[in-house]
A = this chain, B = another copy of it.
C-alpha cells in the first residue's frame, strides 16, 4: 500500500480524481501542479493512512514512517533545502484535508521545522531576523495550540503583555527583541502546560503534527460537523506537507484568498482580498483589515495579471467557480489551494446559467450544479441589506430555515396567534418549539429558538412551512414565564421589534425592512421579468429541468391561494388536497361537532334497528340523532362544494387529488375542560355530554386508531357527503367551461376489502350525482384510488390495486408504521439514532430507502404487476426532498407532490435524478 504522494517540482503523482484518497486539498494541489501553476512542492499522506492509523490503535501503520522520510528527502532534493539544516533549512506547512471540506477540523501548522538554530539560518538567508523570529513565535503558537492543546487564549495574553509593555497595537510593530521576549514567554507557557521543553527536532515536530491531524479527524467537533453536514463514508483525513513560502517576509510578500466569481451573486468578476507582509491566518483573523483584490492591480500589476491568468486557467480547467489561496514570497506568486467555491443559491443559479452562455458548461452540468435542497431559498423573503446595517446585531444562531423576517417578539404560541390576530407581524421566540406550538409557528413571520440544531423541531417545521428560522442561538436566555429574552446586557420584552436572517443566522434588535424574493415579485407581477436577471436565469434553469425530468411534480395544497402559488411555481396539479382543514375553518366546526356528538349513537341504534326490524322503540329513539346527523352533513355539503370549486377553478385542466377525511374524530373536539365548556355553550348541550364523547373517542395510540378509511367505513355518510361535494363541484365547474380532473383518494387503506367496499360506495354516490344532474357517465374524468401508507397495503398492493386507479404513497405514515416509531415520540431517541449512525438521516426528512423504501418498491412492483396502468405518486413530505425524489425516480413513480414552495426544488431534483441515473 502506497501511503504518500508527491506533488510539484515536475514529479506530481496524484490527480484531481483522487479526492477520496488525497483529500480535496491534496488532489487539487496535485492538479494545479500538473497544470503548471506555481505550487510549492510537497507531499500528501493519504486518507487510507489515517484509516490505518485508527485501526492500528492510533499508531502509524507499518511502512508509513519510511515513506514519509523518503518523500521528505525528495522534497529536500526538489527545494535544495534540508529539514533542520543549520545553513539552508527546509520549513514546511502541515495541513489536514479530507475529501469533503470540513472547516471545523484542525487546519494548519505553518513554519514547521523551525527552531533556534534553523531560525538563525532563516534570518541570515532572508536578511530579515524579524521575519525569522516572527515565524518562530507563530510556529510555537500554532504547534502549542493546535498540536499540543495549550490554550490559544494564553498565547494571546502573552503576546498582548509584550505589546502592552512596548505600547504598540499591531503585531508588526514588534521588533526582534520584542519577539524574543514573546518566544521566551511562549516557552514558559508550553512548559507549564505540556511539561518538558518545546520540541526542537523538526522530525519530532512533524510526527506530532501528523498525529494531531490524524487525531483531529475524530474530535467531537469534527464528528459533529460531519453529522450536521451529512458527510458520510469517508476514511479519514489526508495530511498535506508542503514547503513553506512566506507571505510575511516583508512588503514584497503577502497572502490572499479569492473567488473566481462573486460568491454572493455569481457575477463574473474576480473577487477576494489580500494582505501584504502576512501569513494566511492574518487574513482570516481580522486583526488587520485586508484589501480588495482589485487594488492589487495597482500595487503589483504583474502579480495581479498572473493571478487573473490563473483565474481563467482554473475556471477553464475546473469549469466551475473556484475559491483559491495564494502567497507572494518576495515578489513571487505561489498557489496554495484551489477548490470549488462556496456560494449562495443566488450565485449558484446565476453562475451556472452564465457559464452555459459562456460555453463553459452544458445544460446538464448547469442543472447538476445547483444544490436542489437549497433551491427554495430563492423564494424566501430577504432582509433589506441597508436596513440591516442600521440595526443592532445581538447574536448569531444556526441558519435553520432561510429568509428574513422582522416583527414583534412573542413568547408563546398563544401570544403569537393573539398578536397576529391583531394584524401584527411577530417573531415567535422559544427555548425550543414542540408540536403544540404549531399554531403559533404558522402565524409567525419567523421563528427564533435558543436550543436545538438544524434538525430540531423548530428547524424542520420552519423549513416545511417556508418560514425563516434561526435556531440554537445559545447566548439567548429565553424566559417564557416573564416573557423576556436576555442576551448579555440586552433585554428583549414582548412586543419589542426583532429581525432574524435565516440565511446567516443573524438576530437583530430593532426594525429591519424585509423584501420579498425577487423571483416571487416577478411571479406575482410586482416586478417585470426584464428587471430581474435572477428571475430570467431561474426561468431558464427550471425550463431546462422540465426538458430533462421524467417525474411529474404536483403540490400539496388545501386552498385556492396555495394552489395558485404552486401553479406559479410550476406545479402540474394537486397531489394531496386535505379536506379536514376545511372543517376547522370559521364556523364550520360547529355542524361538524354536532355530527360527531351523535355519530356513534346513530350507528348503534341503526345496527339495533337492523337486527330487530320490528322494534318501534328503537326506531323512535333513532329519529332525533339521525335528524341532527343528516342535517349537519347537509350544512357541510355546500361549504365543501364551494371549497372544491375554488380549487378546481385555479387548476383548470390539472388533476386534483382530494383525500377524504383522515384524522380521528377526537381531533375535532376540545380536549380540555375550558374548551369543552365553551363548546357546550356554543352548541347548547351539556358539558358532561361533550366530556363523555371525548372520553369515548379517547385513544391510547391515536396514530394507530380510528381514522382514515376506518371512519369512512364506520360513518359512511361523511365520505358520501365529501364525494358528493367533489362531484357536484366538478359538474358545476365543467358546466362553466373549466376542465376538472378530480381524483378521489381514500386514506389509510390496509386491506383490499376496505378499499373495495369504500370504492363501491363512492362509485354509487358518483353515479347518483351524475344521474341527478342529467349528465352522461363520462361527463367528468375522475379517478378513485388510495394512499399507500399502511405496511400491510404495501405488501398486499397487488390486491389493493384491483380497486385503485392510483396509489399515492403517504410516506410519513408509512415511515411511522414501517419503522414503528411515531413522529411525536421518536424525538426521544431518533437524535441518538442518527448520531449512532443507525439511520443516516432523519427518516422523516429523507426516505429510509432500505426499509420504508423497500415497502414502496414492493408496492410499486406488485401494484403495477396487477394493474399495469396504475398511476403512482407520493404525497408525503419526502416528495419535496431531493434525495428522496431521486429514490422515487429510480423506483419508477409517475409523480411527486410537495408543498408549493418546494415545487421548483422537486422540478430540479427530478431532472438531477435523470442525469445522475444516466451517469
Contacts and interface: CB of A to CB of B under 8 A. Distances in A.
Interface of A: 220, 224, 610-612, 699-706, 710, 713-714, 748, 750-751, 753-754, 757, 789-792, 795-796, 799, 813, 816-822, 824-826, 828-829, 832-833, 836-839, 848, 850-852, 854-855, 858
A40 to B, nearest CB: 37
Copy total for this chain: 2
14 contacts: A701-B701, A701-B702, A701-B824, A704-B816, A704-B826, A705-B828, A706-B825, A714-B829, A714-B832, A790-B819, A790-B820, A791-B820, A795-B858, A796-B854
A820 B817 contact: yes
A850 B798 CA distance: 11
A832 B709 CA distance: 13
Interface centre among A750, A791, A851 (most CB of B within 10 A): A791
Contacts of A610: 220
Contacts of A852: 792
Contacts of A795: 795, 818, 851, 854-855, 858
Given A757-B838, A795-B851, A851-B751, A821 B704 contact: yes
A792 to B, nearest CB: 4
A851 B862 CA distance: 13
B701 A839 contact: no
Contact of A825 (B705, B753, B757): B705
B796 A713 contact: no
Given A795-B855, A817-B817, 18 more contacts: A224-B611, A700-B825, A701-B701, A701-B702, A701-B824, A703-B704, A704-B817, A704-B825, A705-B826, A706-B829, A710-B821, A714-B832, A750-B821, A751-B838, A757-B838, A791-B818, A792-B851, A795-B858
B850 A799 contact: yes
B851 A796 contact: yes
Given A819-B790, A836-B753, A828 B701 contact: no
A836 B710 CA distance: 12
A572 to B, nearest CB: 30
Contacts of A813: 820
Contacts of A713: 829, 832-833, 836, 838
A750 B855 CA distance: 13
A307 to B, nearest CB: 42
Interface centre among A714, A820, A850 (most CB of B within 10 A): A820
A825 B611 CA distance: 25
A581 B824 CA distance: 27
B792 A705 contact: no
A819 to B, nearest CB: 5
Contact of A700 (B702, B753, B855, B858): B702
A220 to B, nearest CB: 5
A838 B748 CA distance: 14
Contacts of A611: 220, 224
A78 B463 CA distance: 88
Nearest to A855: B795
Nearest to A854: B795
Contact of A838 (B702, B753, B836, B858): B753
Nearest to A851: B792
A561 to B, nearest CB: 31
A795 B757 CA distance: 29
B819 A750 contact: yes
A56 B182 CA distance: 107
Contacts of A829: 706, 710, 713-714
Contact of A855 (B704, B753, B791, B833): B791
Given A714-B829, A792-B819, A792-B851, A754 B706 contact: no
Nearest to A611: B220
A704 B822 contact: yes
Interface centre among A789, A819, A825 (most CB of B within 10 A): A825
A610 B218 CA distance: 12
A105 to B, nearest CB: 16
Contacts of A790: 818-820
A606 to B, nearest CB: 12
A836 B757 contact: yes
B799 A701 contact: no
A802 to B, nearest CB: 13
Interface centre among A750, A799, A822, A852 (most CB of B within 10 A): A750
B701 A704 contact: yes
Contacts of A703: 700-701, 703-704, 822
Q: What are the 9 closest A-B residue pairs judged by CB atoms, nearest first?
A: A701-B822, A704-B822, A792-B851, A791-B791, A790-B820, A700-B824, A705-B825, A753-B838, A701-B703
